[in-house]
Structure formats: structure tokens, C-alpha cells
Amino acid sequence: MSESSQVAIARAELLQALRYDCVTFLSFYLQDELSMAVPDFHEEIWHELLGFVEQANQPAVMRSLRKLFAVPREHAKSTLAKLAVILFLKYTPFAFCLYVSKTNSIAKNAIRDIIIWLSSPQERELFGPVNTVKSSETESVWIIDIWIKGPGEVEPRSKRCIFKALGADQQVRGLLILNRRPELIIVDDIEDLDNTKDATAQAGLDEWFTGS
């Protein structure tokens, strides 16, 4: 077998593993940040996320899916949430991610991390460079073309994705960018001591969350 054939097979195997294997996916994007073995409960969470990916790809199923993960502090829950964005944008029809955190600044930092991973050297080597269409700190909006590879497709293709950062209490209704509304909403750690310090503060947060 020629060297080019071996490289092609290795690339195809990596693409397949990224789609279905938690450890491969996390290792690929985190690289040296992954300093220890992936915990079993991270793999369990990822397995549930993969189940949601399958549901989101069913054309006859209404894609209104909700999932709550209660993960203790210092257990990389935000890292998993950010990587889950990549998983869903690459392997489902979703193309508009709304990332919600306690503050707009925290949400913007999360989106920056996601875009750094999508622009990483290993991503460029496997797929190619991403194309930045828009990057607006003031609007908290990023639009980039990422590379995806669907079932049965021989080569990766480009997909335009929208990222919007939002802080708790900011307006959600009416959000429309490029004639699209958010399809994937990540709510990451929106509570803190201020918005849960008493019953009134908690009620205000709950009203915003359930009414948005």
C-alpha cells in the first residue's frame, strides 16, 4: 500500500472517530489541555449528547430537544458545553448557536474559545481553514464558515454558522440573524450569588429564563 493510501485511510478513520468517539473528539480539540484520562462520567455525558445528535438528524422528529446536565464545579462542565457546540454544529443541521452565561462577557469568552478550537492547526490540517464572515464584539456576533462532513459524503464541505453571546436578563425574543433564529441554545452556569441571593432575585432569574 502506498504512503498516500495509508494517509487517506488514517484520515478517514480519524473523521469517523471524531463523529462517534468521545476520547478522540476531546483529545483532538483539547490537545495538551487534556492532561489526564477522560473521566467515565464525561464519556457518559458525551454518549447522551451523541443520542441527541441522532435525534436532531431525524427529519420526521420535531427538533425541540432539551437536556439538563448538573455537573459539579471543577469538573470541566463549561469545557464540555463548548465542545458540545462543535459537535452539534458539525453533525446536525443546526447552524445558529446562542450561548448564554451569567454575563455577556463570559458568553463571549466561551464563543472565542470555540472559534479558537475551530481555527486550530489540527482542524486546519484535517479540514482546511475557516472563513470569518463577521466578527463583532459590540454586537456579540460571529459568523464563520466551518468544515463539516455528512454521512455518505466523500469530502468535507463548508457550512455557515452563526454564534451569538448573551448574558442573563438580556433580550432573547425576536433574535434574527441572516434570516435565522437560534437552533442550538447552550445555557452555561447562569446563576451566581447576586441573582440567587434571595427569593426575589431567584424569582427574577427564573422569570427571565422561562419567559425568554
* pLDDT tens over the chain, length 212 residues: 344 434 444 888 899 899 999 999 999 999 988 888 888 888 998 998 999 899 888 876 555 666 666 566 656 688 999 999 999 999 999 999 999 888 899 999 999 999 999 999 999 999 989 999 999 999 999 999 999 987 777 788 999 999 999 887 777 777 889 999 999 988 887 666 565 556 666 666 556 566 65
Residue 118, judged by CB atoms within 10 A of its CB (0-12, 13-18, 19+), counts as buried
Q: Please provide the distance, in angstroms rounded to a whole number, between the alpha carbons at the two ends of the chain.
A: 57
pLDDT recorded at residue 147: 93
- The Cα 31–Cα 123 span in angstroms is 11
How many angstroms separate the CA atoms of 156 and 62, rounded?
A: 27
pLDDT of 174: 77
Composition of the chain by helix, strand, coil, percent to 5: 45, 15, 35
Rounded CA separation 24/69 (Å): 22
- The closest alpha carbon to 209, from 84, 85, 68, belongs to 68
pTM higher than the cut 0.95? no
Taking a C-beta distance cutoff of 8 angstroms, is the pair 96, 162 a contact? Answer: yes
pLDDT at 56: 87
Give me the pLDDT at residue 5, please: 36
User: Sheet of 157-167: strands edge to edge?
Assistant: 131-136, 141-148, 157-167, 96-101, 184-187
H/E segment holding residue 181: none
